[in-house]
Amino acid sequence: MTAQTKGLLAAVGAYLCWGFMPLYWALFGSVRGWEVIGHRVLWSLVLISAFLMLIGRFSEIFSTLQTFKKQPIQYFNLFAAAAIAAINWWINVYAATSNQVVELGIGMFLTPLFTVVLGVVFFRERLSRLKQLSVFLPFLGVCIMIYTLGRMPWIALGVSSSWALYGVFKKRLGIDPWVSNALEASLMLPFAIAYLFYLDANGVGAFIAGGTYITILLISVGLVTSVPMIAFSAATNVLPLTILGFIQYMNPILTLLVGLVFFHEPFNHQQLIPLLFIWAGILTFIYSEFREKAARKAQTV
């Protein structure tokens, strides 16, 4: 098996895990979303630290912090990335436990296009006419969604904008993703521990009071959320971005199907029409990418 084949399997495995993740979040039932996130921070830090020790890279955490002393803005970028990641995970948990998985899936389709917009805002990237159209079409879709639903689609907008913003601050950090994940979890750990102790002190924490089943679930959250990240990180090292770009759409497609098949959520014109505009934007963007690559190849010949 070639390295690229292994990378492809790792990427598909990661997106399969993320696509079906709402089923896992739903197992927590009435457990507070922020309590789940608190345990995710705690146990994922344990797992990531063990992984870095295993591959002999744990010391990179401290050497990276040393470089931050010369660039204090990196502390802000790290805190922003950590806080936004926590918000994104909470939205995922909330959507699954409040039967809003279809809207979550629709929001995930918006993520790449939000990333494009933020690239223009933060990194002054230029968009061709076609790419401008690819952003405008989903914007129309969201406007239609607001009109038909009679409310702001907070889940869709929240999950897409938070993940895109997370990407911006990760890019600004410019450090190894595993070291970054360890630092993010370390930064959030005091807040997570304080919140978990607060819940237990007031007799509303689920870690012990929820019984063995909930306790095991809360401990497992670090493993369940970290394994796909490890797989995805391995895939990015060997796969071209063009392949990863296509595979990433497995996540929203699977999430949407999970909402329909397993959560039996309604899907009518209120969701379909905006989704068609979003898909039109995605297809326009992909077509624009192919055109630009073909033009660059023609210039080099």
- pLDDT for the residue numbered 176: 84
Q: What is the pLDDT of residues 147-191, one digit of tens each?
A: 888 888 999 999 999 988 988 888 888 888 888 889 999 999 999
Average pLDDT score over residue span 49-61: 92
Query: Would you say residue 273 lies in a domain?
Result: no
Query: Would you say residue 120 lies in a domain?
Result: yes
Q: For the chain, what is the domain count? A: 1
pTM of the model: 0.88
- pLDDT for the residue numbered 242: 62
Instruction: Report d(CA 7, CA 193) in Å as an integer.
Output: 36
Domain extent, residue 35, equals 3-125+154-268
Average pLDDT score over residue span 2-31: 90
- Flag whether pLDDT at 298 surpasses 90: no
Of 71-75, 114-118, 273-277, the range with the lowest mean pLDDT is: 114-118
- Flag whether pLDDT at 93 surpasses 90: yes
- pLDDT for the residue numbered 30: 86
Average pLDDT score over residue span 41-67: 92
Decide if 224 contacts 36 (C-beta within 8 A): no
- pLDDT for the residue numbered 205: 87
196: nearest Cα among 214, 208, 186, 187: 208
Query: Would you say residue 288 lies in a domain?
Result: no
Average pLDDT score over residue span 218-240: 84
Query: Would you say residue 146 lies in a domain?
Result: no
Average pLDDT score over residue span 56-84: 92
- Flag whether pLDDT at 20 surpasses 90: yes
Q: What is the mean pLDDT of the chain?
A: 88
Amino acid letter for position 178: W
- pLDDT for the residue numbered 38: 96
Query: Would you say residue 179 lies in a domain?
Result: yes
Average pLDDT score over residue span 109-128: 82
The three-point CA angle 146-286-246 to 5° equals: 95
Query: Would you say residue 130 lies in a domain?
Result: no
Instruction: Report d(CA 268, CA 265) in Å as an integer.
Output: 10
SS (H, E, C) 237-299: CCCCHHHHHHHCCHHHHHHHHHHHHCCCCCCCHHHHHHHHHHHHHHHHHHHHHHHHHHHHHHH
Surface-to-core class of residue 224, CB atoms within 10 Å of its CB (0-12 exposed, 13-18 middle, 19+ buried): middle
Query: Would you say residue 173 lies in a domain?
Result: yes
- pLDDT for the residue numbered 301: 60
Q: How confident is residue 27, by pLDDT bands cut at 50, 70 and 90? A: very high
Query: Would you say residue 188 lies in a domain?
Result: yes
Q: What is the pLDDT of residues 256-297, one digit of tens each?
A: 999 999 999 988 888 889 899 989 988 898 888 788 878 777
- Flag whether pLDDT at 28 surpasses 80: yes
